[in-house]
Each structure stands twice: as C-alpha cells, then as structure tokens.
Structure 1
C-alpha cells in the first residue's frame, strides 16, 4: 500500500509577501489620486510622448546621477 508523503510546509511561508499586480496599482493610483507612474522606456507611448515624459521628469526631479 502506498501512503502519500505529507508535503512539508515551511514555517516561513506565511511571511512571504504576496505578489502585487503593479499595473493595477498604477491604474488605481491614477484613478483615485491622479498620480501617474510611467517608465520612460515604456513602449506604449510613442517617441514624442516618451521624450515629453523624460524632459518632464528631468525638470521636476533633475537628471540622472552618475557615480
């Protein structure tokens, strides 16, 4: 007779974070608080929109830091 071996559940499993749907979080942020999160290299906006996003980010937060 084959007895299935019980699966061991690690005690650390309950402290593992749940995965978050980042796109849904971005949508909620825009709809609820009008916060826009856009990656400057996102392919969905066209070139002009990406360039506008890059320039706006640099104007508001400064350019990229080296070093």
Structure 2
C-alpha cells in the first residue's frame, strides 16, 4: 500500500495552473510584465500597479529599458 501525506506525492501543478487557481479561489493575481499575452498598455499598467503597491523594481545597472 502506498500512502503519502497531504501535499506530498501525486501530481505537481505547473505555474500557470497555480496562478489560475489562485485567481479563481482567492482573488489573487500573479502577472509577469514580460508576459507575451499582454499588450504594451496592459504590461505598462501592471508595471505601474507594481510600483505603486511595492515600489520600484531592483534592476541590474546595465539592464535595457523595454
């Protein structure tokens, strides 16, 4: 008989499924500003919301601006 404690074993969810479940179950939204499914205005809005809520991102000194 194989038995695994809750949370161990079984099927591992991919990142998009975790994000989708978080949105549907808890109203939490995890969005990358690099997500290609978003248009430029949508990515810009996500960036502005992130900066308003959490402050500016840490960037490498030679990182390109998108």
2:21 pairs, out of 28, 34, 51, with 28
Q: Hey, what's the Cα distance between the residues in 2 that align with 1:27 and 1:52? A: 20
1:64 to partner: Cα distance: 1.7
The aligned counterpart of 1:15 is none
Distance 1:66 1:51, change over 3 A: closer
Q: CA RMSD in A?
A: 2.2
1:66 to partner: Cα distance: 5.1
2:44 pairs, out of 40, 46, 51, with 51
Q: Hey, what's the Cα distance between the residues in 2 that align with 1:47 and 1:66? A: 20
Is 2:34 the partner of 1:41? yes
Provide TM-score, normalisation by structure 1: 0.66
Larger Rg: 1
Provide TM-score, normalisation by structure 2: 0.67
| Runs (4+) off by over 2 Å | none
| Structure with the higher helix share, 1 or 2 | 1
